[in-house]
Structure 1
Amino acid sequence: MNGAVIRLHVNGQALTVSADDADMSLADYLHERLDLTGTKVCCGIGVCRACTVGIRNRPDALLEKTLACVTTVSTLANQHVYTVESLAQGNRLAPLQQSFLEAFAFQCGYCTPGFLMAATAMLEHLGQYGASAERIDDAIDTWVGGNLCRCTGYVRYKEAIRRVARAKLKGGAGS
């Protein structure tokens, strides 16, 4: 990139990325340069979705999910990237994380960050789709259905997400 730099935000922090790192995958950049290891790489080709992170093209935009293992840093100029580390506020878990704990949704936990980030994006989009409590499972299937769990924890993941989505639709603590 001829010495150019890339500006982006990660978990609210403004960053300037050197041209030397422009062709790195976002997952590698997060791990190697920022020591943010919550984003996991499993397949490395964007199939399993363990590496799902959230992206906003501006701070007030809805969160979109993207696959960090196949997204290069150079494609993220002026974007806002959110990793699983962004969910908790200090020692206080986000409602979705708390729900995962309460539903015993963690097994080996490797795919969990991808599930959390895909579900976080889904929760932001609920109002846009006119989702209702009766259609929550459809929304979960659409937003999180492609994420793979080798331990087959799907039932518990879905239950945890459903709890928070229903609370959000009712205007409760999960919103």
Structure 2
Amino acid sequence: MTITTQPITLHINGKTTGPTDVPDNLMMIDFLHEYLDLTGSRLGCGQGLCRACVVILDNPDGSSEEVRSCITGAHFFNEKKIRTIEGHAKRNDKGEVVELAPIQQKFLEHFSFQCGYCTPGFVNASIVLLEKLKRQPITKDQVEATITEGLNDHICRCTGYVRYFEAVKEVVLTTPGLVKDAK
């Protein structure tokens, strides 16, 4: 049996990698783990249901979206810009984290996770939601429903949903420009 490969070039967390010859059927999560040593995205169910594996795809129009990396082939991302959980915190020249992204900090302050396995997916989903709200602010009466909709597809086996929700709600309500006055 011959394994066929094709080269891909990716733009991950602000850096370009490739071209790299990658097997045609390799899933993105395996490429991240095995080729780039970016192991923050988690392989949970392997069927795209739990969403622990999501990465952020930055679209050319400036919007972003979650993509499940356990069921999406690496070649789908060729020449595209993505962000993984490793790309959110600010780092110094040595690669050490010097400042967490606001949502990461709030997850810590709210003790949002127990085992932490689902956390990368929840962080990425929250960042996509916050970016959407920057483009399309909502009224205060829409906050809870909007957060529920943004996080609803993510599964936490430790049942940390309330704490994740409360952390995101705090960020939404305290970040200028995400919530507008009702008219």
Give the TM-score taking structure 2 as reference length.
0.86
Aligned residues between the structures: 171
**Corresponding residue for 2:26?**
24
Identity %: 39
Check whether the contact 1:6–1:22 (CA below 8 A) recurs between aligned residues: no
Check whether the contact 1:3–1:18 (CA below 8 A) recurs between aligned residues: no
- Secondary structure, counterpart of 1:5 in structure 2: strand
**Corresponding residue for 2:147?**
140
Q: Could you tell me how far apart the structure 2 residues matched to 1:132 and 1:34 are?
A: 41
Unmatched runs of 5 consecutive residues or more in structure 1? none
Unmatched runs of 5 consecutive residues or more in structure 2? 92-97, 179-183
Q: Tell me by how many angstroms 1:22 deviates.
A: 3.8
Give CA deviations for 1:112-150 in whole Å, capped at 9, x if unaligned: 000000010000001444312221111111111110000
- Supply the RMSD in Å over aligned alpha carbons: 2.0
**Corresponding residue for 1:125?**
132
Q: Return 104-113 or 9-18, whichever deviates more.
A: 9-18
**Corresponding residue for 1:115?**
122
Give the TM-score taking structure 1 as reference length.
0.89
Q: Tell me by how many angstroms 1:3 deviates.
A: 5.9
Check whether the contact 1:133–1:169 (CA below 8 A) recurs between aligned residues: no
Amino acid paired to 1:10: I
**Corresponding residue for 2:45?**
43
**Corresponding residue for 1:84?**
85
Amino acid paired to 1:52: V
Q: Could you tell me how far apart the structure 2 residues matched to 1:69 and 1:17 are?
A: 21
Amino acid paired to 2:165: K
Amino acid paired to 2:56: G
1 or 2, which has the higher strand percentage?
2
Q: Could you tell me how far apart the structure 2 residues matched to 1:79 and 1:138 are?
A: 31
Question: Which structure has the bigger radius of gyration?
Answer: 2
Q: Could you tell me how far apart the structure 2 residues matched to 1:121 and 1:47 are?
A: 18
Closer, same or farther in 2 for the Cα pair 1:2/1:152, shift >3 Å? closer
